[in-house]
């Protein structure tokens, strides 16, 4: 308590004493100094009985809290759901629990070709029945042609160019009966049973296989990125060659067109819409004739732009509002990068549109293949569309997941020569 009441030493007196001691040491002459270095190895005791006991108590308390709050609630909910199960659902659940656990192995998926149809197969009997029924065959062909017409009407690009008054014209559709069902896919994996662990095979959905292949081998994206890189490298090479004066001289017409475009962009746009033409007819004593004048309103004087130097505001980007803060697109680096990669990005989109194909599943077993040409007529033009789809006898409908439609030709009804 008395130490708190003790006055603190004066810093100036302490500094004077240090300087005085240093002066005495210098007057006494140089003295040898011996520096001894001692290596100290600090060992920390990791395993202490007290820490182990405290950690064990904390873990036990956390486990009890988790078990009571989470596992207890889930257990009560499962018990309530189990009481509401019917006898059939309970049997299905028991069968699923008895099935062995399957852990698939990567890169072990393979396609297994299916055996051809036999005379005794129900699918082949359906093929024979459909082939003998001419009315049903014509109904199948007409149904696919009508689907093609509806798909054409639902396409905005075609309706904008050809009109919405699309009618079904002629169609040439062929019906084919596949000799064998589509292949199946299997993959290997580790099967864990109640008695043993072994390596087995299990069938897998074909759509899952196709999506996995698309994710592992994105060919369309790879080719598009290659086109992007190629176009960007060519653009940079031409720019470097232009800096060194090695740019190839274009043809005179092309050079003139480029010069006109550059002059058009460099010329400031100062044109305004002219005022409406006014006709004044003087019927007074002067007897003057009518006069027509085109008057333009005088341009308002704009305030001088603020200086971007010291103390002045930075110039706003084109198209930006004065009171609105600049966005990310208004930054110079981002805008310059977008302009520099615009040509390469256009090449990327063009290649991607040419190589991208949607993922299509295999048709159902026992389906009938229908393919050919369908003509759709409008008041402006004729459309010829390639169509291919599988007709499922079980549902008596076309499987739209595997259907493909592609525009083959577009012919105008009236063609005029250039003047």
The residue ranges of every structural domain in the chain are: 49-98, 101-115+184-217
Contact 186, 172 (CB under 8 A): no
Contact 168, 152 (CB under 8 A): no
Residue-wise pLDDT tens digits, 199-233: 989 999 999 999 999 998 999 999 999 999 999 99
Closest CA to 290 of 298, 299, 282: 282
Closest CA to 404 of 391, 392, 384, 388: 388
Residue-wise pLDDT tens digits, 283-329: 444 444 333 334 444 444 444 444 444 344 444 455 555 555 555 55
Residue-wise pLDDT tens digits, 103-148: 889 889 999 999 999 999 999 999 999 999 999 999 999 999 999 9
Q: Determine the Cα–Cα distance for residues 154 and 192; give it in Å rounded to an integer.
A: 51
The 10 Å CB-count burial string (b at 16+, else e) for 339-378 is eeeeebeebbeebbeeeeeeeebbbbbbbbebbbbbbbbb
Would you state the pLDDT for residue 194? Answer: 76
Q: Determine the Cα–Cα distance for residues 55 and 21; give it in Å rounded to an integer.
A: 55
Partners of 111 in the β-ladder: 185
Computed over every residue of the chain, the mean pLDDT equals: 78
Q: Which two tokens stand for residue 14?
A: 């302490």
Q: Transcribe 325-367 into DSSP letters.
A: PP-GGGSHHHHHHHHHTHHHHHHHHHHHHHH-----PPPPTT-
Q: Determine the Cα–Cα distance for residues 375 and 362; give it in Å rounded to an integer.
A: 27
Tokens 């005029």, residue? 416
């Amino acid at each position: 308590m008395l130490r708190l009441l003790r006055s603190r030493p004066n810093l100036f007196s302490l500094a004077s004493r240090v300087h005085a001691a240093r002066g005495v040491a210098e007057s006494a002459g140089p003295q040898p100094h011996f520096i001894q270095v001692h290596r100290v190895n600090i060992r920390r005791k990791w395993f202490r009985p007290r820490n182990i006991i405290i950690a064990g108590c904390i873990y036990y308390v956390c486990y009890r809290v988790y078990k009571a709050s989470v596992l207890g609630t889930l257990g009560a909910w499962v018990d309530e759901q189990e009481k509401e199960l019917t006898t059939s659902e309970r049997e299905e659940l028991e069968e699923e629990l008895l099935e062995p656990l399957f852990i698939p192995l990567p890169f072990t998926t393979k396609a297994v070709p299916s055996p051809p149809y036999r005379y005794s197969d129900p699918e082949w009997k359906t093929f024979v029945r459909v082939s003998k029924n001419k009315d049903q065959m014509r109904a199948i062909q007409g149904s696919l042609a009508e689907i093609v017409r509806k798909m054409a009407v639902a396409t905005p690009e075609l309706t904008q160019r050809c009109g919405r008054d699309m009618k079904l014209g002629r169609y040439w559709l062929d019906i084919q009966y596949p000799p064998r069902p589509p292949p199946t896919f299997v993959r290997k994996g580790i099967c864990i049973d109640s008695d043993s662990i072994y390596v087995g095979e299990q069938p897998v959905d074909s759509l899952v296989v196709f999506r996995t292949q698309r994710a592992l081998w994105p060919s369309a994206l790879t080719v598009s990125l290659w086109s992007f890189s190629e176009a960007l490298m060519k653009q940079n090479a031409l720019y470097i060659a232009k800096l060194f004066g090695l740019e190839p001289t274009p043809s005179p017409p092309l050079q003139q067109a480029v010069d006109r475009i550059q002059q058009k962009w460099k010329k400031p746009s100062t044109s305004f819409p002219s005022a409406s033409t006014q006709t004044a007819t003087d019927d007074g004593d002067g007897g003057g004739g009518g006069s027509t004048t085109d008057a333009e309103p005088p341009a308002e004087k704009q305030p001088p732009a603020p200086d971007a130097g010291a103390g002045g505001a930075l110039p706003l980007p084109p198209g930006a509002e004065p009171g609105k803060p600049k966005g990310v697109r208004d930054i110079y680096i981002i805008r310059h990068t977008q302009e520099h990669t615009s040509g390469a990005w256009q090449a990327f989109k063009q290649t991607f549109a040419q190589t991208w194909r949607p993922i299509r599943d295999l048709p159902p077993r026992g389906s009938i293949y229908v393919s050919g040409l369908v003509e759709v007529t409008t008041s402006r033009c004729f459309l010829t569309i390639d169509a291919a789809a599988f007709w499922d006898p079980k549902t008596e409908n076309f499987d739209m997941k595997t259907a493909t439609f592609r525009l083959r030709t577009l012919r105008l009804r009236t063609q005029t020569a250039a003047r």
